[in-house]
């Protein structure tokens, strides 16, 4: 048999949805006998899986394309492909055509499953091959997936978004909301469990509206009950939840189902009702805080994390103060904080009252300080507790330590045996930092 000895390297930008798409691309390439290369200069095929949620992510891609040009000059047989959210925008594809003529293949988010055929076609022709679909007619099922970890896996439950938050490009690049059939999701999770997966993260832009395109025969809470019944799966996570659609029924499901982790990522984006309205978020600070209160009383010890945008058009110091007071009222365990970034094609990009950069930066720094202080205080509160930790691997900073995550999604480093990787073990927390915890595992001495 003649083996194809070609190597690929995928660079992924952006969210978990993109990371999971890259896992699918890697699996398609494995089926084509490609091997994964650690370094760009070892690869015969480089794929950039792009993100366009904020301008920074786009700038990174253009920066990396400069580097690709040199690699192409050194190795004219190198195939360079670009995919992901950026490619769903016409002006980006036009810019690639004009300014980066050495790119071989461009495809989008809706035709990922067409990649093997597109690759073969791109290899056999000169110049750039572009195939970007505006919509995905049907969800492509049964794509292979090359999982990064055995113990934990991402599972798409839905695609696209119908919310049209006024700052966000995602509804334009990922298209309309579409839910996968529950049977297909369960089949995938049963297979994962059979291969040793203990934790699944259900992915969707707004998991709380799961099922709407299926004639409402099953909603997200129902889906959680179904997945909870899969033997072998010990932890269920999900992201992202839109606060407007976060129902009492879902809260009950989270409280009742032991395998659903006591962590909720609930992006608030802003604390001022006026800004929330301009953002088209469809909830108020009061209804948000009310849901958080109920969650905390129903699920003691739940960790709540969020996304916050600073400097949305028209945001005043008073509006920002509302964000700060909301952040303190919730007492988040962690928050992703973003400077508002103008996205062409979104309603907010047309708003006249853009905030000056220095005001944005000042508020951003204030917010980060508040969030970090709170994160540290929350971490300090759990010192001395013994928590179950899914061991993910060896710590990057200290090869003598293992690293893993608590149910509340906190990162814990502790001494232990390599054989524990992929298992859930108890860890007693001995030290708290802003972004991680240190601990000791009581199993250490017994487990010979």
Binding residues for [4Fe-4S] cluster: 15, 51, 85, 161, 165, 168
Per CB under 6 A, 288 contacts ligand 5AD: no
Q: CA 281, CA 278: separation in Å to the nearest integer?
A: 8
Q: Which two tokens stand for residue 103?
A: 């790119």
Q: Is 109 left (phi over 0), alpha (psi -120 to 50) or beta?
A: alpha
- Interacting residues with ligand SF4 (CB under 6 A): 161, 163-165, 168, 170-171, 205-206, 242
Helix, strand or coil for residue 58?
helix
Q: CA 264, CA 328: separation in Å to the nearest integer?
A: 17
Are 109 and 85 within 8 A, CB to CB? yes
164's contact among ligand SF4, ligand 5AD, none, with CB below 5 to 8 A by partner kind, is ligand SF4
Q: Is 160 left (phi over 0), alpha (psi -120 to 50) or beta?
A: left
Are 35 and 72 within 8 A, CB to CB? no
Indicate the annotated binding residues: 15, 51, 85, 161, 165, 168
Taking CB under 6 A as the binding criterion, the range among 101-109, 138-146, 280-288, 340-348 that sits at the site for ligand 5AD is 340-348
Taking CB under 6 A as the binding criterion, the range among 231-239, 323-331, 334-342, 393-401 that sits at the site for ligand 5AD is 334-342
242's contact among ligand SF4, ligand 5AD, none, with CB below 5 to 8 A by partner kind, is ligand SF4
338's contact among ligand SF4, ligand 5AD, none, with CB below 5 to 8 A by partner kind, is ligand 5AD
Nearest distance, CB of residue 311 and ligand 5AD, angstroms: 8
206's contact among ligand SF4, ligand 5AD, none, with CB below 5 to 8 A by partner kind, is ligand SF4
Q: Got the DSSP string for 368-434?
A: HHHHHHHHHHHHHHTTT-EEEEEEEEE-SS-TTEEEEEETT--EEEEE--GGGTTSEEEEEEEEE-S
Q: CA 428, CA 448: separation in Å to the nearest integer?
A: 19
Taking CB under 6 A as the rule, which mask of x and - marks residues 248-287 in contact with ligand 5AD? -------------------x-x------------------
The smaller minimum CB distance to ligand SF4, of residues 207 and 441, is found at 207
20's contact among ligand SF4, ligand 5AD, none, with CB below 5 to 8 A by partner kind, is none
Per CB under 6 A, 168 contacts ligand 5AD: yes
CA-nearest of 320, 256, 331, 261 to 292 is: 331
Provide the binding-site residues for ligand 5AD, judged by CB under 6 A. 53-54, 167-168, 267, 269, 307, 309, 338, 340-341, 343
């Amino acid at each position: 048999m003649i083996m194809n000895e070609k190597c690929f390297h995928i660079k992924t930008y952006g969210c978990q949805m993109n990371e999971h798409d890259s896992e699918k691309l890697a699996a398609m390439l494995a089926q084509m006998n490609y091997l994964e290369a650690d370094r760009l200069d070892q690869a015969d095929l480089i794929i950039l899986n792009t993100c366009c949620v904020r301008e920074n992510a786009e700038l990174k891609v253009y920066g990396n394309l400069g580097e690709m040009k040199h690699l192409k000059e050194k190795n004219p047989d190198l195939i360079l492909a670009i995919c992901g959210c950026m490619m769903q925008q016409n002006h980006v594809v036009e810019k690639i055509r004009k300014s980066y003529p050495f790119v071989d293949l461009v495809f989008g988010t809706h035709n990922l499953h067409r990649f093997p055929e597109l690759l073969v076609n791109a290899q056999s022709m000169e110049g750039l091959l572009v195939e970007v679909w505006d919509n995905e007619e049907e969800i492509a099922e049964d794509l292979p997936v090359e999982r990064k970890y055995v113990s934990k896996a991402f599972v798409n439950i839905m695609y696209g978004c119908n919310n049209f938050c006024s700052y966000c490009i995602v509804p334009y690049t990922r298209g309309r909301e579409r839910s996968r059939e529950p049977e297909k999701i369960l089949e995938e999770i049963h297979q994962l469990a059979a291969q040793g997966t203990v934790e699944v993260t259900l992915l969707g832009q707004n998991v709380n509206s799961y099922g709407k395109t299926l004639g409402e025969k099953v909603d997200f809470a129902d889906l959680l009950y179904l997945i909870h019944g899969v033997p072998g799966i010990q932890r269920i996570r999900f992201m992202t939840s839109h606060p407007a659609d976060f129902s009492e029924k879902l809260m009950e499901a989270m409280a009742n189902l032991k395998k659903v982790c006591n962590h909720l990522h609930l992006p608030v984006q802003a604390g001022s009702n006026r800004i929330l309205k301009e953002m088209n978020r469809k909830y108020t600070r009061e209804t948000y805080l009310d849901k958080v209160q109920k969650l905390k009383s129903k699920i003691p010890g739940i960790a709540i994390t969020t996304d916050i945008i600073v400097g949305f058009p028209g945001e005043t110091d008073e509006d920002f103060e509302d964000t700060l007071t909301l952040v303190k009222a919730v007492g988040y365990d962690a928050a992703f904080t973003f400077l508002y970034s103008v996205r062409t094609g979104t309603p907010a990009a047309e708003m006249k009252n853009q905030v000056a950069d220095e005001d944005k930066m000042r508020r951003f720094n204030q917010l980060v300080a508040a969030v970090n202080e709170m994160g540290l205080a929350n971490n300090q509160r759990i010192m001395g507790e013994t928590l179950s930790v899914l061991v993910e691997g060896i710590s990057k900073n200290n090869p003598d330590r293992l690293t893993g995550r608590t149910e509340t999604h906190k990162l814990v480093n502790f001494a232990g045996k390599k054989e524990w990787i992929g298992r859930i073990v108890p860890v007693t927390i001995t030290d708290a930092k802003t972004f991680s915890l240190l601990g000791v595992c009581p199993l250490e001495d017994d487990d010979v």
